[in-house]
């Protein structure tokens, strides 16, 4: 029973990107002592499976017994258990970095004609473990509006917890009925709005009202991977 529990807990931690009990408790929205209790009993509470299905789309049967598919929600089934559970090594100079395979979403999202943006998987990417965070969505950059800083077909890691706009930083912002754009943000105090400015002046500036930032901002771009 202890071996089954350890394997199940390992699948949960790998799939959610957590390493410590503190991180796992935060993901599950429970007290850390609840994890210690589960370990002592060698039993995974049923509500954990329900929460992980609702928040991450994870298949309870895979978590419990390793039976694929990993995901039960549309758009996530392309990632195999082998990819999630494997750990690869990427070299940056002489420093080895553990790798993680993550889903990549299109900027158009699940439904381009919607007021709300939802990610739609179009591929996978192996990123250094240090790049990963549970609150991240990875976008495949479409278009040339941010060239030369961010080129077409680059991959942009967006932290969805960082929605508060800070002047000069780069954010992913949802434009209703169009999809997500990536722009550098500046504040326009005279009109109480934010300017979404492209790097390439051939592309237009966009604007969002101050009160709309929490609704429209997907998150801050925290890293970019692209060919040199």
Q: Are the C-beta atoms of residues 196 and 204 closer than 8 Å to each other?
A: no
**Chain segment 82-131, per-residue pLDDT in tens:** 555 654 333 333 334 446 788 899 998 876 556 678 888 888 888 887 78
**Chain segment 135-168, per-residue pLDDT in tens:** 899 999 988 999 988 999 899 999 999 999 999 9
pTM for the full model? Answer: 0.58
CATH 1.10.260.40 boundaries in the chain: 2-81
Res. 30: pLDDT tops 50: yes
Q: Give the per-residue pLDDT at 193.
A: 93
Is 127 exposed, middle or buried (CB count within 10 Å of its CB: 0-12, 13-18, 19+)?
A: buried
Res. 181: pLDDT tops 60: yes
Average pLDDT over residues 196-219: 92
Distance in Å from the first CA to the final CA of the chain: 50
The stretches of 95-186 forming alpha helices (DSSP H) are none
Q: Give the per-residue pLDDT at 110.
A: 75
Give the C-alpha separation, 149 to 158, whole Å.
16
Mean pLDDT value across the chain: 83
Give the C-alpha separation, 120 to 87, whole Å.
25
Q: Give 93's contacts (C-beta < 8 A, 6+ positions apart).
A: none
Q: Are the C-beta atoms of residues 177 and 117 closer than 8 Å to each other?
A: no
Whether the bond into 109 is cis, omega within 30 of 0: no
Is 89 exposed, middle or buried (CB count within 10 Å of its CB: 0-12, 13-18, 19+)?
A: exposed
Q: How far is CA 210 from the centre of its chain?
A: 24
CA distances 186 to 18, 59, 102, 126, 172, Å, are: 34, 42, 31, 32, 14
Q: Give the per-residue pLDDT at 86.
A: 54
Does the 2-81 domain belong in CATH 3.30.70.20? Answer: no
Which fold is adopted by the domain 87-225? Umud Fragment, subunit A (2.10.109)
Q: Give 224's contacts (C-beta < 8 A, 6+ positions apart).
A: 150, 154, 155, 156, 157
CA distances 117 to 6, 124, 136, 148, 218, Å, are: 37, 19, 15, 26, 8
CATH 2.10.109.10 boundaries in the chain: 87-225
- Using 50, 70 and 90 to split pLDDT, how confident is the model at 182? very high
Sole residue written with tokens 């890691």 = 157
């Amino acid at each position: 029973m202890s071996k089954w529990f350890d394997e199940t807990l390992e699948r949960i931690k790998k799939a959610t990107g957590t390493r410590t009990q503190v991180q796992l408790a935060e993901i599950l929205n429970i007290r850390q002592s609840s994890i210690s209790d589960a370990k002592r009993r060698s039993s995974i509470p049923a509500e954990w499976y329900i929460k992980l299905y609702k928040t991450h789309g994870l298949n309870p049967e895979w978590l419990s017994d390793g039976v694929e598919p990993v995901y039960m929600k549309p758009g996530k089934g392309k990632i195999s258990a082998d990819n999630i559970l494997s750990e690869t090594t990427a070299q940056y100079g002489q420093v080895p970095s553990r790798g993680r395979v993550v889903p990549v979403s299109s900027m158009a999202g699940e439904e381009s004609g919607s007021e709300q943006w939802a990610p739609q998987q179009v591929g996978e990417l192996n990123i250094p473990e240090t790049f990963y965070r549970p609150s991240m969505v990875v976008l495949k950059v479409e278009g040339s509006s941010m060239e030369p800083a961010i080129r077409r077909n680059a991959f942009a890691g967006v932290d969805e917890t960082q929605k508060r706009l800070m002047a000069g930083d780069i954010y992913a912002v949802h434009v209703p009925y169009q999809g997500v754009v990536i722009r550098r943000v500046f504040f326009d105090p005279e009109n109480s709005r934010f300017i979404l400015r492209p790097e390439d002046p051939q592309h237009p500036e966009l604007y969002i009202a101050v009160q709309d930032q929490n609704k429209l901002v997907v998150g801050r771009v925290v890293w970019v991977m692209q060919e040199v």
